[in-house]
Amino acid sequence: MKNVLGRDIPEYIEGIGKLEPFQGAWTKLKKGWMDEPAVAIATKAKLPHENKLCESLEEAIIKANPVNGMTISFHHHLREGDDVIVKCISILSNLGINSITLASSSLTTAHDGLVPYIQDGTITRIYSSGIREKLGKAISKGILDIPVIIQSHGGRARAIRTGKIKIDLAIISASAADCEGNATGAVGKSAFGSIGYSMVDVEHAMQSIIVTDNLVDYPCIPISIAQNFVDYVVKVDSIGDPSKIASGTTRITKSPMDLRIAQLAANVIEHSGYFQNNFSFQVGAGGATLAVAKFIRDKMKKKNITGSFMLGGITSYCVDMLNENLFKALFDVQSFDAAVSSSLLNNKNHIEVPSTLYANPFNCGCLTNKLDIVVLGVLEIDVDFNVNVITSSEGYITGASGGHSDTASGAKLAVAVCPSFRGRIPIIKKRVNTIVTPGESIDVLVTERGICVNPNNKDLELRLRKAGLNIRDIHDLEIEVDGITGIPEKIQFTDKIVGIVEYRDGTIIDVIRQVKE
Partner 1 sequence: MIMKKNKRRTALYIPGHNPAMVQQGGVYGADTVLLDLEDSVALSEKDAARILVRNMIRTVDFYNTEVTVRINHIDTPFGITDLEYIVPVKPEAIRLPKIETKHDVIRVIELIEKIEKKHGIPHGNIKIHPMIETAIGVQNVFEIAGAHPCIDAITIGGQDLTADMGIVKTKDNAGLDYARKAIVMAAKANRIDALDSVFADVNDDEGLRIETEYAKKIGFTGKAVINPRQIDIIHDVFNPTDEEIRVAIKIVKAFNENAARGIGVFALDGKMIDAPVVTRAQHVLNLADIDINDL
Q: Which residues bind partner 1 (CB under 8 A)?
A: 254, 256-257, 259-260, 263, 448-449, 468, 480, 484
Least distance CB 254 / partner 1 (angstroms): 7
Listed residue (414, 410, 360) closest to 387, CA to CA: 414
Q: Which is nearer to partner 1, 204 or 449 (CB)?
A: 449
Least distance CB 269 / partner 1 (angstroms): 16
Run of H or E residues at 127: strand 123-128
Listed residue (153, 163, 107, 22) closest to 506, CA to CA: 22
Least distance CB 511 / partner 1 (angstroms): 35
Listed residue (260, 326, 243, 316) closest to 285, CA to CA: 316
Pairing relation of β-strands 421-422 and 425-426?
antiparallel
Least distance CB 470 / partner 1 (angstroms): 8
Q: Which is nearer to partner 1, 59 or 480 (CB)?
A: 480
Q: Which is nearer to partner 1, 37 or 423 (CB)?
A: 423
Left if phi > 0, otherwise alpha if psi is -120 to 50, otherwise beta: which for 133?
left
Least distance CB 449 / partner 1 (angstroms): 6
- DSSP string for 338-371: GGGHHHHHH-TTEEE--HHHHH-SSSS--GGGG-
Pairing relation of β-strands 387-388 and 380-382?
antiparallel
Least distance CB 279 / partner 1 (angstroms): 23
Q: Which is nearer to partner 1, 49 or 254 (CB)?
A: 254
Listed residue (339, 395, 331) closest to 368, CA to CA: 331
End-to-end CA gap in the chain? 27
Single-letter amino acid code for the residue at 53: L
Q: Which is nearer to partner 1, 6 or 256 (CB)?
A: 256
User: Cis before residue 219, ω within 30 degrees of 0?
Assistant: yes
Q: Which is nearer to partner 1, 48 or 468 (CB)?
A: 468
Q: Which is nearer to partner 1, 59 or 448 (CB)?
A: 448
Handedness of CA 147, 125, 153, 420 (dihedral sign): negative
Q: Which is nearer to partner 1, 484 or 487 (CB)?
A: 484
User: How many Å apart are CA 54 and CA 115, to the nearest integer?
Assistant: 28
Least distance CB 240 / partner 1 (angstroms): 34
**Coil, strand or helix: which one is 330?**
strand
Least distance CB 396 / partner 1 (angstroms): 25
